[in-house]
Amino acid sequence: MKNLIIIIFAVLIPVHSLAQNSPTNEKEESAMKPSKNDDGEWDLIVIDTQFDYFMNAIAKPINQYSEATLKSRNTILVNEWNSYYRSGRYRNIIESSIDYDSREKYGIKFEYKLYQVFAYVNWKYNLRMSGLSASDLIN
């Protein structure tokens, strides 16, 4: 009986140690992903208290943009953003990548809000991005 207990411990301890020391993917990919709201529309949630102020007081109104223009600019801006994220530039500002598919029809409200996120980052952190139009560069 004593030998059986020793054998069980001899087998379980290395297995337990291997389970604890198994390699883990320390760099988990964090990405902002668009999601649909209860109405089935694409939605983007920005958790920053100043973003609502920016949208209401500073951002240009949605009627000054076309969906096609916003989509083309967002494609450029998302690529630039993700490039900064992968390279580690602006770590204090860019904490995740953006999962954006330029072939998806998100709708003008979503495209507008995403574009305004980039304009907001320019306004708040003075991070210039090449896809922003000159009139949206706010300093």
| Model pLDDT for residues 120-138, shown as the tens digit of each residue | 999 999 998 988 888 777 6
| Structural domain contains residue 25 | no
Q: What is the residue range of 104's domain?
A: 31-38+45-136
Does residue 61 lie in a domain region? yes
| Alpha-carbon separation of residue 103 from 4, 30, 45, 115 (angstroms) | 63, 22, 21, 16
Both tokens assigned to 6: 């020793």
For the chain, what is the domain count? 1
Does some domain include residue 102? Answer: yes
- Does any domain span residue 63? yes
| pLDDT range class, residue 5, cuts 50, 70, 90 | very low
Q: Which of 106, 110, 87 is nearest to 97 (CA)?
A: 87
Considering the domain boundaries, does residue 65 fall inside one? yes
pLDDT tens digit sequence for 98-116:
999 999 999 999 999 999 9
pLDDT at position 46: 86
Would 14 be classed as within a structural domain?
Answer: no
Which residues, in sequence order, are CB contacts of 122 under 8 Å at separation 6+? Answer: 128, 129, 132, 136, 137, 138, 139
Residue 1 lies in a domain: no
CB-CB contact of 56 with 113 (8 Å): no
